Amino acid sequence: MTGRLLALLRRVSLRQLLRDPRAELGRILGGVGRRLESTGKRISHARREMPAWLNGEINALAHFEPELLGPEGCGVHYRHYGVPVDTRAGVLYRELAAAVGACRATHVLIVPWLVRGGADRGALYHLKAWVESMPAANVLVILTEDINSPWLDRIPAGIRVLHFGRMLGPMGMPGRVQLLTRLLVQMQPKVIHVINSRVAWESFRLHGLALRQASRLFASLFCDDRNNDGVPVGYARSYLRECRTHLAGVFCDNDVFPDLWVQELGVPRQLFTVLRFPYDRMVVRKDDDFGIDGAPRILWAGRFDRQKRPDVLLAIARTMPSVPFDVYGVSELGRVHPAISELQRLPNVKLHGSFSRFEDIAGKAHAAYLFTSSWEGVPTILLDASAAGLPIVAPAVGGIVDLIDRAILVDASDDVAAYVEQLQQLIDSPALRRNRREQQYAALAVGRGWADFAGALRQIPYYLPGASATLTHKKGRSS
């Protein structure tokens, strides 16, 4: 043992120790740790004979419990068991810590990925608000899933991104939760905000008490999902009751679901803050007569998944064979919806693929924007359609009623005849198109500016630098 210590000392660089003692000591301790780890692994798996004293005790106790001895009448059937030592978690943790860097993050946003969607757009709004109130180097984004994130380039400059899911690869949920929790406990950020990450929700559920000793825990929830049987499911249903005591607050973009969760889950209403997403682009109001040259077209844009009901779009397009439909969208996650192949075969439907900005696809030939969905919070794409001056035909689900008068929404999300009736009315009447356009402009002008959003966040205790519990904070509504 002495020889090994001397060998280790010979590897110490006195020059480096004087120049950067922290780095050199870190290197030395890392080497010692790896040697101890290797030694422990060898010892735990070494073949060992049963000690004589233990064999004697087994023989003595066999007078009372004969089955302690095997068929041979002795204890030879007992073998030493070395507890397996899996060091992969430790190795991964060191890699995660190195990727985060030495600069402490005071605000951590945890998301599964950043793809095209309302929740992802909301995450970017929160990041923008953070960098307006603190140095970007104080902010860390953790991506918990190994999924391609096409919106990474929209993250404000200077913010660090940890590809947690990619670095952990196929590791199971328990290991992921353990590593994320360890990382957060060691980092001790002032604020941890989770949006749609199951790994983070599990960390809150299992280790929320430890996490909230140094950090304020926030979450964003938007709506319930539905399983194949139509039963409400989602993060609120799975985690709110167990996690509510650990949470400093929950943001929601609509009034509908907080009231529902309070009623059905028994969580307190003061846990929620209704935080309306802003429309942060310039709105150029149109005041023309909304005339359309040629055949009026219908625009549909969204994700091709079960929630967005491509099957309803298909049924509507089949019912209106003389009306051209421009359809923009891609399958972001999972398999392609079966309705897409049917849409490709319809002569009045043109599939265009993905899009970057709504204003780039909304044209003068469009009489309406058709939005189909089975469940929603407040879809941010409806803000885009309102700003573009395109009349919206949508179902009365979730938080859509916060933006559009329920009287002009389709009552049932699968009522094809009601969709067709509203679309036909807009195709036939320029006056109705103008009226709907003005209604949507008016709705967008109330509480949907960036200043409204940033101001509401400044009223949340502890969420932004300088905000504290002394602020007069009224949960439940934002301005």
Q: Would you give per-residue pLDDT tens digits along the chain (479 residues)?
A: 555 555 655 666 666 666 777 666 667 766 666 666 666 656 555 556 778 888 888 888 887 888 888 776 676 667 777 666 778 889 999 999 999 998 899 999 999 999 988 899 999 999 999 999 999 999 999 999 999 999 999 999 999 999 999 999 999 999 999 999 999 999 999 999 999 999 999 999 999 999 999 999 999 999 999 888 889 999 999 999 999 999 999 999 999 999 999 999 999 999 999 999 998 788 889 989 999 988 999 999 998 888 999 999 999 999 999 999 999 988 766 677 889 889 999 999 999 988 888 999 999 999 999 999 999 999 999 999 999 999 999 999 999 999 999 999 999 999 999 999 999 999 999 999 999 999 999 999 888 999 999 999 999 999 999 876 544 444 444 44
Predicted pLDDT of residue 98: 96
Reference 403, options 415, 411, 395; nearest CA is 395
Predicted pLDDT of residue 474: 42
Domains and CATH numbers, the chain: 2-69 (no CATH), 91-274 (3.40.50.2000), 297-444 (3.40.50.2000)
Predicted pLDDT of residue 384: 94
Predicted pLDDT of residue 3: 59
Radius of gyration, alpha carbons of the chain: 30
Pairing of strands 247-252, 225-226: unpaired
> Which residues fall within 8 angstroms of residue 246, CB to CB, at 6 or more apart?
204, 208, 209, 211, 212, 217
Other C-beta atoms within 10 Å of 29: how many?
10
> Which residues fall within 8 angstroms of residue 227, CB to CB, at 6 or more apart?
233
Pairing of strands 366-370, 392-393: parallel
Predicted pLDDT of residue 48: 66
